[in-house]
Amino acid sequence: MSAGAHDEARLVVVGGHESDDGADLGFLRDALPGAVVSPAGRVLHNTVSALLTSGDAPVAVLPMTFGRNPTMVADVAKTLKWLSTGDGAGRVVLCDDFGTIDHLIAWLRKAATETAKHRPGAALVITARASNPFDDAELYRVAHLVRTHGAGLEVEVACVEEDGDVADAVRRARLLGSEESVVVPAGFARTSSAPWGSGELARARFYGPLMSEQAILQVVRQRLAAAEHSLSHGHDGIETGLLADHGHGYAHSHAFEESQGGHAHPHPHPHPHPHGGGEPTHAPVNSAHGHDSKHHEAPAAHGASNDEVLTHRH
C-alpha cells in the first residue's frame, strides 16, 4: 500500500566519492532529526531494512550526487528494489538526485567569477577525490566548460589520490602564468587537508565549500517533499534509478557485429533523466546527451532545473 498523508518519511542520504562516502554530510544529521547518512551497498541495505522494521513510516533515500556518480544511483536503486517487496512494498522511495552536472557547472562558474573578481591573476583548481576513469573524465569535461564559459581565468583539475596531487595542479597553473591558485571542491567537501602555506601551496588558498549548509539543506528538503508526494501517488522512482548508469562508461555499438552478419538487438528501455517517480520535479538541461555549449552561457539565465538554490536564483 502507498504511504498515507500522515506518514512522514524517514530520510536516508547516500554518499559516494563526491562526499567521501558520506563523511562530508554529517551536518545533515544535526539539521534534520532522524536523518541517516549512509554509503551505498550493504550498509545502505541494512540501514533501510532496520528503518522499515522499526515502524510504519516510509523510507526516502536520496543519492547525494551532482550527476558525477550515476553508478552509485543505480546501485542504490538495486538495493531498494530488493527492499521494496514484502513488508517494504509501497514504503520505499528513491528521491531525485541531489543535483545535476549543470548545477555543478553553475556553482563552479560562480566560484570562477568570484575568484576573478577578488583575486585577479589567480587560477581556479577544481578538486575531487579520484574515482573511476569515467567519473574522473566527467570532471575534466566540467572543468573545460567552466574554463570556456567562465571568467577568463585558468582552470586546472586535481583528481586526488595522493597528498601531492593538489600541489601538482597548482604547479601546472603557475607554469601557465597564474600568480596564485584558489582550490575549490567539486562536491560536498567542507574543508581541505592540503598543507596550505608550504611548497607549491604557499601561494594557494582553499575557496571553501562549494555550497553553504543552508543551501544544501534547502535542496534536500525539496527532494524529500517531492519524493513523499510521488510515493503518495504510487510512484517510487526505483525503476528509473536502475537506468541511471545506462550508457555510462565505454560507448557500446553493434555496428561491428552487424557488419559481420550478427543480429542486432533492440534497446526498448526508456532514457528518463529524473530519478523520482511521477511528474518530474525538474527538467535538466541536456548535459548528458547534448553538447550545445549555449546551455552553459550564464547560470542565472538558464538554470538546469526549477531549483532556485541550485541555480543561484534566490
- pLDDT tens digits for 241-252? 999 877 666 654
- Give the three-state DSSP class for 29: helix
**Residue range 283-288: mean pLDDT, rounded:** 36
pLDDT at 194 over 60: yes
d(CA 163, CA 102) in angstroms, rounded, equals 29
At 303, list the grid cell. 538554470
Residue at 281 is within a domain: yes
**Residue range 94-100: mean pLDDT, rounded:** 97
Q: Are 22 and 37 in contact (CB under 8 A)?
A: yes
pLDDT at 58 over 70: yes
To the nearest whole percent, how much of the chain has pLDDT over 90?
71
Residue 309 or residue 199, greater confidence: 199
Q: In terms of domains, do 82 and 226 share one? A: yes
pLDDT at 207 over 70: yes
**Residue range 33-56: mean pLDDT, rounded:** 96
Q: In terms of domains, do 24 and 89 share one? A: yes
Residue 243 or residue 1, greater confidence: 243
pLDDT score, position 302: 34
Residue at 240 is within a domain: yes
pLDDT at 65 over 70: yes
pLDDT score, position 87: 83
Q: In terms of domains, do 135 and 227 share one? A: no
Residue at 71 is within a domain: yes
**Residue range 161-179: mean pLDDT, rounded:** 94
Q: In terms of domains, do 84 and 119 share one? A: no
pLDDT score, position 175: 96
Q: In terms of domains, do 217 and 90 share one? A: yes
Q: In terms of domains, do 216 and 88 share one? A: yes
Total count of domains within the chain? 2
Contacts of 109 (CB under 8 A, 6+ apart): 146, 149, 150, 151, 296, 299
pLDDT at 29 over 60: yes
Q: In terms of domains, do 89 and 114 share one? A: no
Residue at grid coordinates 550545445? 292
pLDDT score, position 78: 97
pLDDT score, position 251: 57
Residue at 237 is within a domain: yes
pLDDT at 281 over 60: no
Domain with 112 in it: 101-206
70-83 helix and 42-53 helix, angle to the nearest 10 degrees = 40
Q: In terms of domains, do 76 and 108 share one? A: no
Q: In terms of domains, do 155 and 139 share one? A: yes
Q: In terms of domains, do 166 and 197 share one? A: yes
Q: In terms of domains, do 197 and 119 share one? A: yes
Q: In terms of domains, do 114 and 193 share one? A: yes
Question: What is the domain-level CATH number for residue 92?
Answer: 3.40.50
The rounded mean pLDDT for the chain is 83
Residue at 255 is within a domain: no
pLDDT score, position 185: 98
Residue at 136 is within a domain: yes
Q: Which of 16-25, 79-88, 204-213 has the lowest mean pLDDT?
A: 79-88
Residue at 16 is within a domain: yes
Residue at 313 is within a domain: no
**Please, which pLDDT band fits residue 77 given cuts at 50, 70 and 90?**
very high
Distances (CA, A) of 180 to 121, 140, 154, 197, 269: 7, 21, 10, 12, 49
pLDDT at 134 over 50: yes
Kindly report the pTM of this predicted structure. 0.80
Q: Are 154 and 173 in contact (CB under 8 A)?
A: yes
d(CA 28, CA 211) in angstroms, rounded, equals 13
Q: Are 32 and 26 in contact (CB under 8 A)?
A: no
pLDDT at 272 over 80: no
